[in-house]
Chain A
Amino acid sequence: MEVGQMQRAWVEYTRSLFREGFLDAQFQQLQLLQDESNPDFVAEVVSLFFEDSERLLADLTFVLEQQNIDFKKVDAHVHQFKGSSSSIGAQRVKNDCIAFRNFCEEQNIEGCLRCLQQVKQDYYLVKSKLEALIRLEQQIVAAGGSIPMEELSS
């Protein structure tokens, strides 16, 4: 693919992620913070989000497998997950976390387990989308092009 084509693909793909609710305006804020002096800012923050999320998902899975579930712990993990997902603009994950906390407050085990499955699914989905987006960005830069940020708003 030539640069112009990749740039058009990038614009299309990014728009679809916003349109389908995987990402929200906060992700645009991250993109705004990336410039020549910090060309990898989005990729760095996103990879921190992956590490954080996978640790939290493992912890949540473990806590919810126990005989006596410590709902305070569950809530603390979900609270963190909600924070990190909203900081990077992973909208679906963030919304799952809001529902999750409600079930946690009710100490509803069934509800919590369903939310865990949902949040796992949405997390891995947005992870693959973000990875694809960043890969495309790296290809554009490697081919000598720039990320056509301004075209997103038009």
Chain B
Amino acid sequence: MAITADSRSQFHVLAVDDSLIDRKLIERLLKTSSYQVTTVDSGSKALKFLGFQEDEQGNPDTPFGSPNNHQEVEVNLIITDYCMPGMTGYDLLKKVKESSSLRNIPVVIMSSENVPSRITRCLEEGAEEFFLKPVRLSDLNRLKPHMMKTKIKNQKQEEDQEELKISEIQSDEQQQPVQPPSPQPQPESQPQPPPPPPALLLQHNNNKRKAMEEGLSPDRTRPRYNGIPTMV
């Protein structure tokens, strides 16, 4: 499937802000830019909408094996306020990036305060952009490239699953000492996605081992999101 400018309206953005005024504003900004928008007023509602499960927290990498684990509603990007009561935008970002099923969704943080350490912290945690509030139409031009990336990633998801099984075997071999590290392939030039970083594989193997020790099935099925009223 070719991705053209026309497919922009298919991009679905989840906007999170505790301020009603700012929700109205970001909704209008995104709709004017032809995106589909869902707004929620808290980080926990955002996670619910994404079908996030609390028990994922302790075991962030287990659901790798279940390919039927797609979200009911596809979200191509999350844009969230930083300063919110309860779960902050930073907390939400962390939860998304720690979740194997959600971590591919790009996250953009908005904040009214220009605090460099805060910006660095968010970018280090995996945020794609940091927007100073009030957000302007011109800022939204920076969203599209991030969404294109996920579209491509999602299309390759099936491939990824295969790739993972192969790299899992490879990683067992890599437990042998002294293997020169192979150069990282560039995603743009390679038709195949790059293998996941070693840390990920290691965690995955550990989890698998743990799961086997405890006699649990690693492909637990996870209930999907349903029944939350939304404003799409």
Residue of B21, B22, B133, B136 ringed by the most chain A CB atoms within 10 A: B21
Among listed B25-33, B69-77, B172-180, interface-contacting one: B25-33
Interface size counted on chain B using CB atoms at 8 A:
15
- Please tell me which one of the listed residues B22, B28, B29, B137 contacts residue A83 in the complex, with CB atoms under 8 A apart: B22
- Residue B102 lies at the interface, judged by CB distance under 8 Å to chain A: no
- Residue B118 lies at the interface, judged by CB distance under 8 Å to chain A: no
- What 0/1 readout, one digit per residue, does chain A (46-67) give for beta carbons within 8 Å of chain B? 0011001000000000000000
- Please tell me which one of the listed residues A35, A49, A87 contacts residue B134 in the complex, with CB atoms under 8 A apart: A87
- Measured between C-beta atoms, what is the minimum distance from B224 to chain A in Å? 33
Q: Which residues of A contact B25 (CB under 8 A)?
A: 30, 33, 45, 87
Tell me whether B20 and A48 are in contact (CB under 8 A): yes
Given the complex of chains A and B, what is the CA–CA distance between A29 and B136 in angstroms? 7
Nearest A residue to B23 via CB reads: A48
Tell me whether A82 and B20 are in contact (CB under 8 A): no
- Residue A26 lies at the interface, judged by CB distance under 8 Å to chain B: yes
- Residue A13 lies at the interface, judged by CB distance under 8 Å to chain B: no
Q: Which residues of B contact A83 (CB under 8 A)?
A: 19, 22, 112, 133
Place the interface of chain A in its size category.
20 to 34
Tell me whether B137 and A29 are in contact (CB under 8 A): yes
- Residue B24 lies at the interface, judged by CB distance under 8 Å to chain A: yes
- Please tell me which one of the listed residues A35, A38, A48, A79 contacts residue B21 in the complex, with CB atoms under 8 A apart: A48
Given the complex of chains A and B, what is the CA–CA distance between A44 and B23 in angstroms? 12
- What 0/1 readout, one digit per residue, does chain A (75-107) give for beta carbons within 8 Å of chain B? 000011011101111000000000000000000
Tell me whether B133 and A84 are in contact (CB under 8 A): no
Q: Which residues of B contact A26 (CB under 8 A)?
A: 134
- Measured between C-beta atoms, what is the minimum distance from B134 to chain A in Å? 5
- Residue A41 lies at the interface, judged by CB distance under 8 Å to chain B: yes
Given the complex of chains A and B, what is the CA–CA distance between A30 and B137 in angstroms? 10
Residue of A26, A33, A84, A86 ringed by the most chain B CB atoms within 10 A: A33
Tell me whether A87 and B133 are in contact (CB under 8 A): yes
Known interface pairs A26-B134, A32-B137, A83-B22; 15 further A-B residue pairs with C-beta atoms within 8 A, sorted by A's residue number? A29-B134, A29-B136, A29-B137, A33-B28, A33-B32, A38-B28, A45-B21, A45-B24, A80-B19, A83-B19, A84-B21, A86-B133, A87-B22, A87-B134, A88-B21
Q: Which residues of A contact B137 (CB under 8 A)?
A: 29, 32-33
